[in-house]
Structure 1
Amino acid sequence: MIAYISRRLGYGVLILIGVNLFTFALFFAVNTPDDMARLAIGGQRVSQDAVEKWKSERGYDKPLFINRAAEGTARVTDTIFYQRSVPLLKFDFGASDGGRSIGSEILNRMGPSLALAVPTFLLGIIVSIVFSFTLVFFRATRLDFWGVVLCVLLLSISSLFYIIAGQWMFSKLLRLVPYSGYLNGLDAIKFLALPVLVGVISRLGPEARFYRTLFLEEVGKDYVRTARAKGLSETAVMFRHVLRNAMLPILTGTVSGLPLLFMGSLIAESFFGIPGLGSYTIDAINAQDFSIVRAMVFLGSALYIVGLILADISYTFADPRVRFE
């Protein structure tokens, strides 16, 4: 197991290096440092002296990859890539184009993101599994039919509709919760109640339908027929055998998604005014702050790799037959 994890971590480092190179080349292929300066200062009519000053203050006046004017190792180290992207491999996110520390912003905004993401994630999994398992338990009945119809309807509607409809109904019409905003402590509950509810409902359709398919696949296997032939009740078969054996593919999506909870939700945080990492990324995209965007892409890639490794490790706990040599 240790050798397997070490090997996967080694592959993960190579992937992160590739992601770093690709995002750097992509961003600077779209916008040159001069374009970034004009966007930050405010327009195409900015004088070249102002552009050069902005670039000099932020280190964008250097060559991208190779500084031919320097000597020795400075030909590589005195470049934009080495000073702005290589530190990401040490999780040193540096400063944004606006001069603020990206690492400090991430630490400050991580709490609101987790406050929204964790209850949405846990409640969403529980509700989806219970709902889909109920449909399978009463399969081939009216409840199963209308449950599938409801799932199709839910997954056919955009998540933006749930947000707008939820704000209109619960904030404007019923006045139960505020439209948007966030406060620390227990006061955050009234601001998070509606986003969590919207998040659970919006993911119920696709997840419940997927889980229902997994449960139905297990119901038709030989070990289930053998358990029934031995005289086990339908309740015992469903809970002791079908549910347990269907948990392996479910773990793939749930455990691998745990580290990504730190990244927050781009849409929900922006619409509900929650100062998390999701809204931080959206604000950086709107402001053309590519330092923040590159840092968030790199962080998201690292967390996704960790999630995949955790999913592989969780297989051994869910199914004793799985072993990594």
Structure 2
Amino acid sequence: MSAYLIRRLLYAVPLLLGVNILTFLLFFVVNTPDDMARMQLGQKRVGPEAILDWKHERGYDLPLLWNEGAEGTAQVTETIFYQKSVGLFLFRFGRSDQGRDIGADIRTRMWPSLAIATPSLVLGVTVNVSLALLVVLFRLTYLEFWGMALCVALMSVSSLFYIIGGQYLFGKLLQLVPISGYDGGRDAWRFLILPLTISVISGIGSGVRWYRTLFLDEVEKDYVRTARAKGLGELRVLFTHVLRNALIPILTGIVVLLPLLFTGSLLNESFFAIPGLGSYTIDAIQQQDFAIVRSMVYLGSTLYILGLLLTDISYTLVDPRVRLH
């Protein structure tokens, strides 16, 4: 197991290096510092002096990869790549183009994101799996037909409809919960209950259809027929044998959602004014703060790779046939 973990961690190094280099190329080669300055200054005709001042204040006036005017190690360290990208490997995010400490912002905003994303993930998977098992239990009946029709209808509705409709109905008309905002104290649940509910409901359509497909593939296998032949009830067969054998593809699907535990939901945090990392990223894009966007792209990639590693490890816990070598 330890050798496998070390090998997978070593595999992650070139992946993160590739993400870092690609992000650097997109932000500093395709979109040059001069272009950044013009977009940030917001003027069609910006003077050369204003562009130089903007780049100098943010360290964008250095050479990209190699500083021929410097000596020794400064030829490498006194470059944009070293000062803006190398630190990301150690999670040193530096300062934003607006002068804020990105690392401090992430540490502050990660908690609201976790407060909404963690229960959304747990409840969403639990509800979707349970409903999918019930649909499979009543397969080839009218309940399955209308259940799938309802799932298609839910999938056809935009997430924005759930958000705006929920805010209008429960926040404005019924005045049960606040429409927006966040409080980290005892009243935090009042601000989280509506976005949490909307997040779960909006994912039911696609989630139930996905898990139903997995379970239908399992119910026709030989081990299920053997369990039925032994006299086991259909509920026990589904919730014990079928569910356990379908856990590997379920875990594979969950890994895609793991980065959201940290980076948050972009739409929910923006529309509900929750000061998490999702709204932090949206604000950075709107303000054209490229340092924050680069940091969030790298952070999301790191979390995704970590999720893949955790998923591989979890395979051995749910299926003894899987061995890590």
TM range (shorter): over 0.9
- CA deviations 1:224-268 (Å, max 9, x no partner) are 111112222222222221121112211122255335411101111
Q: Distance in 1 between matches of 2:92 and 2:44?
A: 32
- Tell me the amino acid that sits aligned with residue 174 of structure 1: L
1:268 counterpart residue number:
268
- List alignment gaps of at least 5 residues for structure 1: none
Q: Distance in 1 between matches of 2:256 and 2:317?
A: 15
8 A contact 1:219–1:242 mirrored in 2: yes
Per the TM alignment, residue 128 of structure 1 is displaced from its structure 2 partner at its CA by: 0.6
Percent identical residues:
63
**Mapping of residues 63-142 of structure 1, within 5 Å:** 63-142=63-142
1:287 counterpart residue number:
287
8 A contact 1:260–1:304 mirrored in 2: no
Q: Distance in 1 between matches of 2:2 and 2:272?
A: 43
- CA deviations 1:161-182 (Å, max 9, x no partner) are 1111111211222222222111
1:306 counterpart residue number:
306
Residues 1:32 and 2:41 aligned together: no
8 A contact 1:131–1:208 mirrored in 2: yes
2:224 counterpart residue number:
224
- Structure 1 length-normalised TM: 0.96
8 A contact 2:117–2:260 mirrored in 1: no
- Tell me the amino acid that sits aligned with residue 320 of structure 2: P
- Structure 2 length-normalised TM: 0.96
- CA deviations 1:162-208 (Å, max 9, x no partner) are 11111121122222222211111121211111111110011111111
Q: Distance in 2 between matches of 1:281 and 1:111?
A: 15
1:318 counterpart residue number:
318
8 A contact 1:256–1:309 mirrored in 2: no
Residues 1:147 and 2:147 aligned together: yes
Single out whichever of 300-309 and 183-192 deviates more from structure 2: 183-192
Single out whichever of 210-219 and 70-79 deviates more from structure 2: 70-79
CA 1:136/1:318 → structure 2, altered by over 3 Å: closer, same or farther? same
Aligned partner of residue 213 in structure 1, secondary structure: helix
8 A contact 2:20–2:85 mirrored in 1: yes
2:211 counterpart residue number:
211
Aligned partner of residue 61 in structure 2, secondary structure: coil
Q: Distance in 2 between matches of 1:31 and 1:259?
A: 27
Q: Distance in 2 between matches of 1:236 and 1:119?
A: 27
8 A contact 1:256–1:306 mirrored in 2: no
2:174 counterpart residue number:
174
Q: Distance in 2 between matches of 1:296 and 1:8?
A: 23
1:23 counterpart residue number:
23
**Mapping of residues 38-77 of structure 1, within 5 Å:** 38-77=38-77
8 A contact 1:111–1:276 mirrored in 2: yes
How many residues of Structure 1 are paired with residues of Structure 2 in the alignment?
A: 325
8 A contact 2:96–2:292 mirrored in 1: yes
Single out whichever of 169-178 and 188-197 deviates more from structure 2: 169-178
8 A contact 2:113–2:264 mirrored in 1: yes
- Tell me the amino acid that sits aligned with residue 176 of structure 2: L
Q: Distance in 1 between matches of 2:20 and 2:117?
A: 26
Q: CA-atom RMSD, angstroms?
A: 1.4
Q: Distance in 1 between matches of 2:138 and 2:111?
A: 41
Q: Distance in 1 between matches of 2:70 and 2:239?
A: 69
8 A contact 1:87–1:93 mirrored in 2: yes
- Tell me the amino acid that sits aligned with residue 172 of structure 1: K
Aligned partner of residue 254 in structure 1, secondary structure: helix
Per the TM alignment, residue 40 of structure 1 is displaced from its structure 2 partner at its CA by: 2.6
Aligned partner of residue 186 in structure 2, secondary structure: helix
Single out whichever of 178-187 and 287-296 deviates more from structure 2: 178-187
Single out whichever of 204-213 and 67-76 deviates more from structure 2: 67-76
Single out whichever of 13-22 and 64-73 deviates more from structure 2: 64-73
- CA deviations 1:78-103 (Å, max 9, x no partner) are 11111111110111000001111100
- List alignment gaps of at least 5 residues for structure 2: none
8 A contact 2:218–2:242 mirrored in 1: yes
Q: Distance in 2 between matches of 1:232 and 1:183?
A: 49
In the TM superposition, structure 1's runs of 4+ consecutive aligned residues that sit over 4 Å from their partners are none
